[in-house]
Amino acid sequence: MTMQELTCDRCGLGVLVEKFSPAHTSIQWESDTSECPVISQGNPATGVHRRECNALRDSIDRAVARSVLTETHLDLPAGPDLPRLH
């Protein structure tokens, strides 16, 4: 499990990304999210906050498709010794 560096194709901001599946992505921003032009379009005065950037999401998807960003595969424990909740 290792976060990988990636730059947004739209604005050039850098993030650290770990991709677990098509639906599960962990992102750690290397700068303040307000520097993202898409996220900063929200209006805090009216309570409108954007928490995602579709341009960054598209950049991540393209990086996965080009095998620049690899998915992390977790081996989950299995077998009779696995603790169970009752």
Domain map (residue ranges) of the chain: 4-65
Residue 2's pLDDT is what? Answer: 87
CA–CA dist 29, 35 (Å, integer): 10
pTM: predicted TM-score of the whole model, two decimal places = 0.75
List the chain residues with pLDDT less than 70. 1, 42-50, 86
Residue 1's pLDDT is what? Answer: 60
The number of angstroms, rounded, from the C-alpha of 86 to the middle of its chain's C-alpha atoms is: 34
CA–CA dist 35, 7 (Å, integer): 13
> Under 8 Å CB-to-CB from 3, ≥6 apart: which residues?
16, 17, 18, 26, 28
